Structure 1
Amino acid sequence: MSNENKTCKVHYTGTFNDGTKFDSSYDRGEPLEFICGAGMMIKGFDEAVKDMEVGEIKDIHLMPEEAYGQPDPRNIFGVTIAELPGAEDLEVGAQVYLTNELNQPIPVKVVEKDETTITFDANHEMAGKELNFKIELVEVGE
């Protein structure tokens, strides 16, 4: 029996390999609801939940390819500070939103800055990381 294309509610805790917790639905007291297999979740998470039974708890370890992928060097780019109003006030490490050609906001991080140029990284902050999840399937709808 597969949970694919069904609305699933799960509780989960996500950790990095060093044990650092980066996310947990338990802390929020609300299970996460998503449609299994619809691409709303990272690939490895969807795959794990697909064959779970309600009440089952599963520990998974995902390589970057099953999670947020590897960082893409093409997602790191420089912009002339003069062309970007407000850029002169940004510090390295700041998380900001830029707009792409389709007018969609893209989260980027400032990774470098000198007097004339500011460099942004648009890779997902979890790109390149191995992720661990403890997943508990709470409910499956139709």
Structure 2
Amino acid sequence: MTTPNPVKQPVNADSTVIFHVDIKLSDGSAAESTRVHNKPARIRIGDGSVSPAFEAQLLGKHAGDTLTFTLAPEDAYGQPNPDNIYYLDRSKFSSDSPAEVGMIIGFTMPDGSELPGLIREVAGQSVTVDFNHPLAGQTLTFQLEVLEVQ
């Protein structure tokens, strides 16, 4: 007796999708990958965690499918928002976490969560901290491997 092959469920508007993703910048260099620590991404279609353009690429795909697509900044991590750039007094930084250009420092928010900020500039007593996503403003190529559709 043969066991029938289960029908692979396609990604639809109610799906949870588990996938590996490799993100590349427009120059081809690697930006992020879930494969580094073997921790696949998980999203629920329609939950707002990714853009509608990203979700549209997944619709109709099945476990085992691979796909590559490129998104403009507006459809990926958005454009940098000038309102997410803050100027802090250098005294707010400790010797454990000095304000040095290029460092990413976690700042504790009023609700207790932590938000990473990139030190863009240190001038005298003023420190410029950018809270935009590091990939904001970038055209990105995504390579996905769909692992599971629920």
Say whether the fold is shared (TM-score over 0.5).
Answer: yes
TM-score by length of 1: 0.83
- Change in Cα spacing, 1:110 to 1:29, as seen in structure 2 (3 Å) is closer
* Structure 2, unaligned runs of 5 or more: 1-9
Aligned CA RMSD, in angstroms, stands at 2.2
- 1:78-128 C-alpha deviation (Å, 9 max, x unpaired): 11223x141782211110122344443221111111221111111110000
1:73 and 2:82 equivalent?
yes
Higher Rg of the two aligned structures: 2
* Structure 1, unaligned runs of 5 or more: none
Structure 1 segments, 4+ long, off by >4 Å, are none
> Whole-Å Cα distance in 2 between the matches of residues 115 and 51 of structure 1?
55
> Whole-Å Cα distance in 2 between the matches of residues 132 and 10 of structure 1?
15
TM-score by length of 2: 0.79
Aligned residue in 1 for 2:104 = 95
SS in 2 for 1:46: helix
Q: Name the count of aligned residue pairs.
A: 140
- Aligned mate of 1:47, from 56, 80, 85: 56
1:30 deviation in Å?
Answer: 4.5
**Aligned partner letter, 1:59:** T
After TM superposition, the structure 1 = structure 2 runs for residues 98-137 of structure 1, keeping only pairs within 5 Å, are 98-137=107-146
> Whole-Å Cα distance in 2 between the matches of residues 24 and 102 of structure 1?
29
Identity %: 28
More deviation, 118-127/86-95: 86-95
